[in-house]
Amino acid sequence: MTFIFPPFFKHFTQPRLWLRLLAARARTRYGDFSGEMMARLASIPPAGFRPQLRLDKKALVPAARAAHRALSDALARGDLTALRRVAMPPLFSSLAARVQRRPRRRRLEWQLVRYTAPARLLQHSIERMPVDSSGTSVLVTRQAIVAVASRQRLVEYDDADGGAVVSEKEVDLTENVIIMAFVDPHTYKTGEWKVWGFGDELKLKDYEKAQEVMVQLRDAQVAKQRQKLRSAS
């Protein structure tokens, strides 16, 4: 459930839509804040009172930019080893398939010309998920969304024709880069940030549909727990 909200005043001239988006943004921000507080409390050691979890949010923008550059360069070169290092497994599988479908003897070269605007941290969240039914083993993850605006150049060469240029284009892009890192559930140190994917700006109907699905899943889980209690009694 990753939501990328539009700029705050984008729909200000449509009061009803703007207020609904504002309410959705507030619910999401509250959920992110609650997740952070729960993770901080869980990271307090039994013999201490200070949380082990440290959230250095100033490092998120540089981490997203670095991961974005590494991913784009590895994808262009078709370097699957480098691509695996910077992409989460589902994204790696998708991009690796694209690389393998490329025509032979075609070579791509990617270049970051410049950043066209300051990168912006749009969202940060942390989540603890039980791995087993007892809840003793947990998976802790952090996720951040950073808007990266840049001018990029992509050149395609045909090595079968002596490296002749097949195509060349330079474009300005604003990409919502979603990065993710695993957190050690014992030391609460954040691991290496990798690219989870890229997101589009939220459409309210998609958000509301996702909320309906979440309510259905929650109700199903409650019903399942009640059934277990009845069976035990």
Is the per-residue pLDDT at 1 higher than 70? no
Look-up of token digits 């992409």: 87
User: pLDDT class for 133, splitting at 50, 70, 90?
Assistant: low
Is the per-residue pLDDT at 28 higher than 90? no
Q: Say what the pLDDT of residue 134 is.
A: 61
Q: Say what the pLDDT of residue 225 is.
A: 75
Is the per-residue pLDDT at 96 higher than 90? yes
The rounded percent of the chain whose pLDDT value lies above 90 is 59
| Selected residue with higher pLDDT from 9 and 83 | 83
Is the per-residue pLDDT at 205 higher than 70? yes
Question: Rounded distance, CA 75 to CA 72, Å?
Answer: 5
Tokens of 203: 């459409």
Long-range contacts of 97-102 (CB under 8 A, 24+ apart): 99/75, 102/78
8 Å CB contact between 87 and 71 = yes
User: pLDDT class for 130, splitting at 50, 70, 90?
Assistant: confident
Question: Rounded distance, CA 110 to CA 170, Å?
Answer: 10
Neighbours of 193 (CB within 10 A): 21
Is the per-residue pLDDT at 9 higher than 80? no
Q: Which uninterrupted H or E stretch holds 193?
A: none
Is the per-residue pLDDT at 215 higher than 80? no
> Mapping DSSP to helix (H, G, I), strand (E, B) and coil, where does residue 217 land?
helix
Backbone φ and ψ of 8, nearest 5°: -55, -45
Going by C-alpha positions, the residue among 226, 200, 188 that lies closest to residue 5 is 200
CA separation, residue 186 to residues 25, 39, 58, 147, 158 (Å): 32, 12, 23, 31, 51
Going by C-alpha positions, the residue among 120, 115, 108 that lies closest to residue 73 is 108
Is the per-residue pLDDT at 128 higher than 80? yes
Q: Looking at the whole model, is its pTM more than 0.85?
A: no
Q: Say what the pLDDT of residue 67 is.
A: 97
Q: What average pLDDT does this structure show over 10-38? A: 84
Please give the mean pLDDT across all residues of the chain: 88
